[in-house]
Structure formats: C-alpha cells, structure tokens
Structure 1
Amino acid sequence: MSYQALYRVWRPQRFDEIVGQTMVTKTLKNAIMTQQTSHAYLFAGPRGTGKTSAAKIFAKAINCPNQKDGEPCNTCDICKAITEGTLNDVIEIDAASNNGVEEIRNIRDKAKYAPTSAAYKIYIIDEVHMLSTGAFNALLKTLEEPPANVVFILATTEPYKIPATIISRTQRFDFKRITAQDSYQRMQYILEQKQIEFEPAALKLVARASEGGMRDALSILDQVLSFSDNKLTVDNVLNVTGDLSQTQVDRLMTTIAQQDTSSSLATLQEVLTEGKDEQQFVEDLIGYCRNLLVYASAPQIIEEVELGNVTETFKQLSTTFEATQLYQMIDILNDVQQQLRYTNHPDVYLEVLLIKLCHVPAKPVAAAAPSVEASAEENQQLEALKAQVAQLSQQIKTLPQSSGKTTAHRTNSVKPKAHKVQVNKTAIYPILDTATRQDLNRYKEVWPDLMSMLSITKRAVMNVSRPVAANAKGVIVAFDYQLFFEKVMNDQELLDELKNGLNRLLGSPAEIVLVPQEDWPVIRKDYLATNRLEQKEGKATTTTAQPSATAKAEVPKVVKEAVALFGEDIVEVKKD
C-alpha cells in the first residue's frame, strides 16, 4: 500500500477524537442521541479545524445501527463504507469545482429519491461559499422544503460570503482555531503511537507554526519527519518551516534595542546565509514585536501561546521597549512586508529595514549621575553657569511684583494637562436604551469571524476586546487594557475596517463604541442610576398632576350624573 499523509491516517473517526471543538461535538452528539437532528447544518471556521471530518462522523453516527452515546461504532458495514467513501447515500461535493446552477439542480432532483441502504441521505458540500448566485437560489428551495430523510451539511471557511437566506435555514456551528496546546498534545499522542522520538521544544515549534489548524500541524510534522529521517529536532523544524530560532530573534532584537546597526546587519547576513525566507523573517519579527507588546500588559496570554517557552531575554526586552516604539516598529515591518512582494532584491530591503528599526527612538534613559571627578574644562563651565544663574536671580528680584491673583492665573494657564482619550458616553447611552441580550449574542457570534478578517497586527490589538452590550444598530466593545483602547480610538483606519466587516457579516451597518473594561461597570451603573431617577421624577409629576380627594369631592352632583350618563370624553364643565 502506498504511503498516506499523517493527516489522512490520523483523521478523526469519532467526535471525541476531534481536537479543540468540544462545544460543537457535544451538541451534535446530544442531537443524535435525542433524535433532534436538523435537515441542514452550516460548519464554518478556519481551514484544518475539523469541519469535513465532523460532517463525515455525523453522517456515520446518524446512520449507524449500533451508535452509542451519539458516536458511530466504526465496525458496521455502513460506517466502513462511509469511511472508505463508497456509500452512495453519502455524497461529498466540492463547491469550488461544482459551483454552477446545473450541479445544484442535479442534487435537488436526486435528493427526492429515498436512500438505498442507509437511513438518511447526506449531502456534504465543501467550500459552499464558492457557489454562484444562481446555484444558491437553486439550493434555497431545497433547504426551505427538504425531502424526508435528507440532511445537508455545508462547510465553509468564509461564511460572510453566504447569503443570509441560506444561513437562516441551517443550524450554524462555528469551529474555532485550535490552540497550540491542543495541537501539541494531539501530535505528541501520534508520535508516541508511532514510537518516534522527538524533542518537546521542536514539537512546540510545529504547533505554533500551524496557526490554529490541525491539518497544517500534521502536514508540517510529516514534512519534518521526511526531511530528518523520522527524527524530530529543533534544527530540523526550523530548516523546514524557515522560521528563525528563538536565539536568533532574541539576539537580533537585543541589537535593535541597543541601536547596534552593525551587529544587526551581521545577524541578518547569518540568517540569509542559512537560506531563511525573507517574508518569514519579517513575519517572525512582527510576531515578536506583537508578543513584546502583549507581554507588557498580559504576560499570561504569551505564556499560553508560546507554551511556556518565554526566554529571559524576551522578558528583559519587554521592559526595554516602549509601546509607542513597538507600534512604530510594527508599522515599518508591515510596509516592508508589502514591498517585498514586488522586488527582486529582498536583501536590500531587509538591510534598510534593520537600519530603520535601529534608529526608532528608544526608551529615554534617565540622566546619569554626575561624575565625582570632573575635568578642568567642565569645572569652568559649571562656574560660568553658576554665575549666570546668580545674575538672573538678582534681575528677577528687581522686577515689579505682580498680584498673587494674576500670578496664580498665569501659573494655572501654563500648567500642563495630561491628555487622555475620553469615553463617548453620548454614543453609549442611546445603545443602552434599547440594548437586548439577543442583539448582544448576535454580535458575539460574528466576533471571531470579524477578528479573522483583520491582519495579524490588528488582530493582536483587538484580541483583548469583546462586545458587552448591543442593540439593533450598534455595539459597545470593552477593552481589557487602557493602552489598547487608546490605540484603537486613534486608529480611524481600523475602526472603519471593523465597521465594514460587521456590515458584511450582519448585512446592515453597525455603530461601534469603545470603552475600557475598567470604566464599563461605572458607566453602566451611572446609566442605571440616571434611569431610576428619571422614572422616579416621572411618577412624582404624575402624582402631583392628579386631583386630590378633596378636589374630587367638590365636583357638583349634576356633573357626576352627566358623566355617568354620557362619559368623561363628552362632558365638558365650564365655570360661570
């Protein structure tokens, strides 16, 4: 038998084997156990996160005569046929190459026929967002009035391209990116089963390089094992992925912090001599700067992402660089990354890049203490300065004294004021007036998709934000850290990108209001207190406006009788 890739050999055959998607697998198993399955599902999420695998496992479980606790037995004829792809009742279609109206009409016509050997006929349409508009319209009628014993499973990496009319007729499951820790544990299990020796640090590099995709992780692992004759070492992983070693990045960033241009260029030549990819070189530096930025505010996030591989040099550099300096460095790296795509001399761009990075204004250093032993020239300069100070002091004493009030006014007028980005409460209160839990859940559902639409650097800034309140026309987003809140408030381009992304995901424009998390409880409390006060004042006004019991008693008898006969709306009392 010919060799099969690791991701094919170790493809999940049970829901419990799918990595990092506990919510999805638990829901599907419960639906199968209670026989509450839907006629159409939408599996959305990044590549390599288990969407197609979950669809095939669902097809086996719903048709398996021996299914237990929502899991297929994988031993009966139906399960084996679905695993091998030979069961006629489970049809898998690639929408990227079958995206026309005729293909979907063919599916619609064949779906009317009952399944031949299984209980349900399953249609798995992969990359469904590639269907044309006419194909979506042809599929819409079938999803609206599906035949009995037919289940459609739509899988996509870009759900915002699917019409809302299709999504509304399916049960949507969002597959999230797989954490580096989950990828590491799965690969560790596979290597132990294959009895292959490995370095834990090397396996962590593979897990980080996969960027949240289990299939990508196994593909990289497969490539490294082939390159190194079934030996997994750090050097072999770096050679295959083209990444910089942690030592190289630490040394390079240290020289940048010290503004040592010659040492930085020497490190660059070493990296290029090893044949590292120029784009990957810039990508590694962007990721490192991002990690430094986040580590200064939330070290636990970086500890989790890097699987505990945080060096002492990295920790020291996180206190050396200022946030504004890192922002500028990331902007420079982004510009060069774009330019590298259109040049035949990437080494020149990288050399200029390092020179720019070394000249980014560094963290201001405190003034050094004066030396005990000063030269004769320095002593002369010091004496001259003392004489000038004494002369100026004498001149100040001879000036006419102004009133204390004027002096205080002048002092106050030149007193520097710390600038702080203010929260826009006038935009928050209208959203809170009509905020609902349903609207908030709607924004929370699309928030991961919105983050995936951003670039790496923008996603890093928005990673500490989340929706906290929403109505039909807007959402309030809270940031865990004041630093990131101010950064986004001053980035109009990012705000516009967020609004455009929500418009594409929700189908309608949405206002975005930002608040720091530490200010959010106070704002919400003030809003509730204001509402209670307004309601209390309204009740008091209503009570005052009502006539007293004495006034009611003074109403003439004839008026009462007229009101009883004709009603209050008709009777009008006029005084003589």
Structure 2
Amino acid sequence: MSYQALYRVWRPQRFDEIVGQQVITKTLKNALITDQISHAYLFSGPRGTGKTSTAKILAKAVNCEHLKDGEPCNECATCVAINQGSLNDVIEIDAASNNGVEEIRNIRDKAKYAPTEASYKVYIIDEVHMLSTGAFNALLKTLEEPPAHVIFILATTEPHKIPATILSRLQRFDFRRISAADIAAQMKKILESKQVQFDERAVKIIAKSAEGGMRDALSILDQALSYDSQQLTYESALQVTGSVARDELQRYFEAVVAGDVSTGLQVVTATLAAGKDASQFIEDLVDYCQSLLLYQQDEALVSADELGLLGDHFQQIAGSLAKHRIYRFVEIMNEVQQQLRFTYHPDLYLDILTVRLSDEQEEQAAPTAPESASAYQQLEQQVAQLQQQLQALEQRPTSAAPALAQAQSDQPVSKRTVPNNPKAPKPDVNGIFGILDAATKADLEQYRSNWGALLQLLSVTQRAVLHVARPVAASEAGVVIAFDYGFLYQKAGSDEQLMTALEQGLEQLLGRIPQVYFVPKEEWPTLRQEYLQQHPRGGKINDKETSSVAEPQAEQPVAKSDPTEEPKSVRKAKELFGDELVNVEND
C-alpha cells in the first residue's frame, strides 16, 4: 500500500515542527543545549497533541551526532535509523498490550546493558497508565536508580492513574489542546504543499471540529480530500464533518425568532434530506447561540474570522435578541438533544424543537391583537398534534426507547452524561479527581484570597470571561475553577492565551505554576459527590452548593460531643471543601 495517511506523512521530525506546544519544546531544547537531560519524563495530555512525536524527537536529539540548537539533524546515521524504526537502542512499547509484570521485568533486565549503537538507550512506553500495579512496582526501582545510559519517556492520556511513587521520579510535561487557529495554519501549510486549492471556511470548520487534536484534524482533512481530491470546498467540509451551512443555520434561527414555523420546518426537512445528522444540527444551533452570547458580552470575544462564518445578519440578530431568550433556547435544545438518543424518528423531534422555539417567542410577547391570537392558537394546535404523534410512536412495541432509557439509568454515575451544552468540551474528570485527592481547605482559601489580585493581572477581555468564575477546590498541585455559565466555560477551555495568562499570574502571586482545571458550575456538585462516593474514605455526605460567597449557616442546638468522634468521611469532606460547604444528614 503506497498511500500514507496525512498524519503519518506530516508527523513532526523536529521540535520546531510540533504545533501548539511551544513551552514544552523550548524547555526540552534548552535542556539539551545545557546538557541537563533527565533520566525519566512523563508526557501527558489529550490524544493527538504531539506526545509520542515529541518522545521520538527527544530520543533522536539525545543520540544525534550533529545536534544544533537542541534540534536533531535528521541526517546522521542514528537519526535516520530512528526515523525508520530500525535502531535497537530506541524501544517503543505499547503498555495497553504489554502491561504485565513479566514484560516490565524484561525491560528492567535489559536496561542494565549498554546501548549497542547510540549514546543512550531510550524506552518510550505509550499509554503507561494501563500497566498493572505489579508492573508499576517492577518499574519503580529502575526509575529510582536508573543506569546512566538509559532514558525513560512515558506517555499517557490519564496521568491520575499513575502511582504517586512513579510520578515523583519523573519530569512531567502536560500537553494542551491545540488552538483552532494553530490547527488551521498547519492544514493550510499542508494543502499549499500538496498544491490543493481550498476554501478558508472549510479549513476553519475542520479545525473547529477537531476539538484540539492535530491528528483528528488531519484525519478529517484526509477524508475531505478523498471526497474531492482536486480541491477542499466548503461543501465537502460540511459533508465530512456533518455540520450545517451557516447560511442555513442563520435562516433557521431568524425563522424561529420571528415565529415563522413554516420556514423553520422547511430548513429542517432540507437539512435531513441532505443527510445531515439531527444531533449535529442541534449542536450547531447551540454553537450559534454561544457565539451570540459571547458577542453580546464583548464583541472582542468573537474574532473577525468567525464573524465571516456566522452569516451576514449575525450582528443584527445579536443586537436585537435578549439574553434570557437565548438562554431559554439553549435549554430547549438541550432537552431535545437528550430525547434524540432514545428515538428512531429524529425528524419528529426536530419538528417539535422548531415549534417549541417559535412558541417561546410567542410566550415572551403576549399576543393581544386578533391576528397574533390566531397565530398563537395555530401554534398550540401544531404542538398538540406533534405530541400525539410522539405518544403514538412511543406506545409501539418495537420502540427501543424504554430499553435504552432503562439501560442508561442502570449505568453508574461516572458513566452517565451530564446534561450540558452538547458542544462544550467535557470537564477533565480525571484531572479534577487528582486535585481532590490532595485538596485542603487552606489551599482553597489561598486561591480565593488571591482571586481578585489575579483578575487584575489579566486583560479586559480575559477578565470578562472569568468575572463569573471562582475556585471551588484546590491542592498544592492545582486548582478547580467553576464557571456560572456554560458558554464562558467553553470559551475559557479553548483559549490558550487565557490559560497562559492564568499560569503566569498564579506563578507571580503564589510562586509556582499549578494545574488549572475548568468545570461548569452546574456540574460541580455532581462531580464532587461522585468523587466522595468513589473515594475509599467517602461517606454519605450531602453537599450543598452555595453562592460565590458562602453564607454562614444559622446556629442550631446540638448535643455536645467530642469533636474527635466525627466520622472519617466527614472530616475528609471538610478538609476538601470547608466546613461551610458540608452539611451532614443522619440516615
């Protein structure tokens, strides 16, 4: 097979070719230049962000015969052999399929021997979190006292599953999601080198659909070029990603805002006839609502490039539509999105969505004129007819909805989907649980006391995003920040400049760079309760979420008791979240 996928052909061969991880690559290059190479590294982060590629480049750099400015030459015999995968001194291991004690013991025994061709023997262990407890114990001694000629590079997407005894012996580098702008720039570079004509809008759609992963973006681009090898068009990008054209979204949105049910239903029919996914249609609508809210909050939050993709009437809609109506639209879309999972008739639910959104407009403006009253009655009749059709479908014996609903309810809490903005990235549950493992009330108070000073160090636009956010849990290693609004949580999670500014501000105030995790405020109580249930010392604790400034609870008569007699689970919860946020109820 002669053809290779784009993500393989364009795998980075130098540190400067790694996209979106400049801090990490600069640190590694400086370590190579000053000859301060560590014996063990941990590369952690989401998929497709460059962990394995960086590991291979580091393996080349430490063994390169003509290293220049921290970059491998890719021309010497050692570099060429590593690129071809034929150098015996660079060993790549997939921990997902080699996770037993015997495999690690084999590595430990062979690590004692000097390299045969290169200067260092480098072990790259991918998905290292899959190792068993016994395998980690077998690896521990080698990491603690490694031979001088051995370097370990561990890569994982779930660093919280690695024992603390292992983590303490590694230099850790956290790879971040790559911004859509960086992904788009890299795709343009690839398309220009292949001499393929492309539409700027198509590149932006693919970059946004990749959700921070360069490998995912190149896979989608590969599929789009297979669909049309001569050029990358806006239509082909929409077809491959399943997205809906912005002009159609704008037309639909204008229709439901104006209460024009007929036009809205026509857009839905045309969208489904074109093969678009109903769930993706709703996600695109929510994304459009998010852009409206961001633009209303601060016009600078929506770039000029994004405005070009949102339609000619976007600014007019944003200026005329009240925020509370957009909030209500998103709530209705979320409800229908959840219901779509249990039906084989998505067209019916999109029709219901259209009528409900249009009906929301009528509810806000109470009709008094005869014409308005008549239109309102017509909408009520349409809703009643659609509800009757829905009930008839649900009563059919072949319907899979009850079974699916029961299966969903039988899943453990950690596996259920928390209703939220379907387009927003999910919180890093594993990272948040890692913070809660060592969280204390003292650390949380430290972050809260410095929160105002931190906001003053940010730009006006960055403060606009964080003005309704606050720390809710913290440890020595990092902090969890909750956002009152989901659209601001999504904006912050995808803003690399904001994350960098936060880290710099916290380093200035606290003297260290902590890990920062974002979470929507409505999901925080669920995640916190889930952690307490899964924790070995967790108990039946009823957490009550308070306002941004916790109010003292009213004093109530209680029987005198020895404070030391509190259950361990209660003491642990108070250590994590503070006395004012924990309410204990007797069964």
After TM superposition, list the pairs within 5 Å mapping 1:220-231 onto structure 2.
220-231=220-231
Residue 23 to residue 311, structure 1, CA distance change in 2 (3 Å): same
Residue 358 to residue 511, structure 1, CA distance change in 2 (3 Å): closer
CA offsets 1:354-384 (integer angstroms, 9 cap, x no match): 222223357956999xxxxxxxxxxxxxxxx
Residue 128 to residue 514, structure 1, CA distance change in 2 (3 Å): farther
Following the alignment from structure 1 to structure 2, what is the Cα–Cα distance between the partners of residues 152 and 139? Answer: 10
Letter in 2 for 1:494: W
C-alpha RMSD of matched pairs (Å): 4.3
Following the alignment from structure 1 to structure 2, what is the Cα–Cα distance between the partners of residues 331 and 125? Answer: 44
- Residue 29 of structure 1 and its aligned partner are, at CA, apart by 0.3
Residue 200 to residue 447, structure 1, CA distance change in 2 (3 Å): farther
SS in 2 for 1:151: strand
Following the alignment from structure 1 to structure 2, what is the Cα–Cα distance between the partners of residues 342 and 230? Answer: 40
Following the alignment from structure 1 to structure 2, what is the Cα–Cα distance between the partners of residues 441 and 235? Answer: 45
Which of 510, 519, 527 is equivalent to 1:497?
527
Following the alignment from structure 1 to structure 2, what is the Cα–Cα distance between the partners of residues 451 and 153? Answer: 33
Residue 28 to residue 461, structure 1, CA distance change in 2 (3 Å): closer
Letter in 2 for 1:35: D
Letter in 2 for 1:203: V
Q: What percentage of residue pairs aligned between the two structures are identical?
A: 51
Residue matched to 1:197: 197
After TM superposition, list the pairs within 5 Å mapping 1:284-323 onto structure 2.
284-303=284-303, 306=306, 309-323=309-323
Following the alignment from structure 1 to structure 2, what is the Cα–Cα distance between the partners of residues 291 and 363? Answer: 24
Residue matched to 1:114: 114
Contact 2:41–2:153 (Cα < 8 Å) also in 1: yes
Following the alignment from structure 1 to structure 2, what is the Cα–Cα distance between the partners of residues 185 and 178? Answer: 11
Contact 1:242–1:277 (Cα < 8 Å) also in 2: yes
Residue matched to 2:37: 37
- Residue 277 of structure 1 and its aligned partner are, at CA, apart by 1.5
Contact 2:92–2:123 (Cα < 8 Å) also in 1: yes
- Residue 98 of structure 1 and its aligned partner are, at CA, apart by 1.9
Contact 1:49–1:176 (Cα < 8 Å) also in 2: yes
Following the alignment from structure 1 to structure 2, what is the Cα–Cα distance between the partners of residues 29 and 90? Answer: 19
SS in 2 for 1:319: helix
Letter in 2 for 1:285: L
1:27 aligns with 2:57: no
Residue 362 to residue 78, structure 1, CA distance change in 2 (3 Å): farther
Contact 2:144–2:169 (Cα < 8 Å) also in 1: yes
SS in 2 for 1:276: coil
Letter in 2 for 1:306: E
Letter in 2 for 1:167: L
Letter in 2 for 1:274: A
Contact 1:101–1:134 (Cα < 8 Å) also in 2: yes
Contact 2:41–2:154 (Cα < 8 Å) also in 1: yes
- Residue 19 of structure 1 and its aligned partner are, at CA, apart by 0.8
Residue 76 to residue 429, structure 1, CA distance change in 2 (3 Å): closer
- Residue 294 of structure 1 and its aligned partner are, at CA, apart by 1.9
- Residue 478 of structure 1 and its aligned partner are, at CA, apart by 13
Contact 1:45–1:51 (Cα < 8 Å) also in 2: yes
SS in 2 for 1:152: strand
Following the alignment from structure 1 to structure 2, what is the Cα–Cα distance between the partners of residues 236 and 194? Answer: 18
Residue matched to 1:51: 51
After TM superposition, list the pairs within 5 Å mapping 1:114-263 onto structure 2.
114-263=114-263
Following the alignment from structure 1 to structure 2, what is the Cα–Cα distance between the partners of residues 433 and 223? Answer: 47
Following the alignment from structure 2 to structure 1, what is the Cα–Cα distance between the partners of residues 99 and 221? Answer: 33
SS in 1 for 2:360: coil
- Residue 40 of structure 1 and its aligned partner are, at CA, apart by 1.1
CA offsets 1:250-275 (integer angstroms, 9 cap, x no match): 11111121122222111111000000
Residue matched to 1:572: none
Following the alignment from structure 1 to structure 2, what is the Cα–Cα distance between the partners of residues 76 and 56? Answer: 15
Letter in 1 for 2:161: K
Residue matched to 2:87: 87
SS in 1 for 2:177: coil
- Residue 141 of structure 1 and its aligned partner are, at CA, apart by 2.5
Residue matched to 1:76: 76
Following the alignment from structure 2 to structure 1, what is the Cα–Cα distance between the partners of residues 219 and 303? Answer: 25
Residue matched to 2:337: 337
Following the alignment from structure 1 to structure 2, what is the Cα–Cα distance between the partners of residues 511 and 78? Answer: 60
TM-score normalised by the chain length of structure 1: 0.67
Following the alignment from structure 2 to structure 1, what is the Cα–Cα distance between the partners of residues 55 and 485? Answer: 30
Following the alignment from structure 1 to structure 2, what is the Cα–Cα distance between the partners of residues 56 and 456? Answer: 38
Residue matched to 1:278: 278
Contact 1:303–1:309 (Cα < 8 Å) also in 2: no
Residue matched to 2:13: 13
- Residue 235 of structure 1 and its aligned partner are, at CA, apart by 0.8
Letter in 2 for 1:56: K
Following the alignment from structure 2 to structure 1, what is the Cα–Cα distance between the partners of residues 531 and 308? Answer: 34
SS in 2 for 1:153: strand
CA offsets 1:184-212 (integer angstroms, 9 cap, x no match): 11111111111111122222222222111
Contact 2:257–2:361 (Cα < 8 Å) also in 1: no
- Residue 239 of structure 1 and its aligned partner are, at CA, apart by 1.2
Letter in 2 for 1:227: Y
TM-score normalised by the chain length of structure 2: 0.66
Letter in 2 for 1:158: E
- Residue 124 of structure 1 and its aligned partner are, at CA, apart by 1.1
Mean alpha-carbon deviation: is it higher for 340-349 or for 359-368? 359-368
- Residue 347 of structure 1 and its aligned partner are, at CA, apart by 2.0
Residue matched to 1:358: 358
Letter in 1 for 2:190: I
Following the alignment from structure 1 to structure 2, what is the Cα–Cα distance between the partners of residues 331 and 183? Answer: 31
Contact 2:307–2:314 (Cα < 8 Å) also in 1: no
CA offsets 1:108-166 (integer angstroms, 9 cap, x no match): 22222221111111111112222223322322222222222111111122222322222
SS in 2 for 1:259: coil
> Which consecutive residues of structure 2, in runs of 5 or more, have no partner in the other structure?
369-440, 454-470, 550-587
- Residue 451 of structure 1 and its aligned partner are, at CA, apart by 9.0
After TM superposition, list the pairs within 5 Å mapping 1:500-519 onto structure 2.
none
- Residue 55 of structure 1 and its aligned partner are, at CA, apart by 0.5
Following the alignment from structure 2 to structure 1, what is the Cα–Cα distance between the partners of residues 5 and 485? Answer: 31
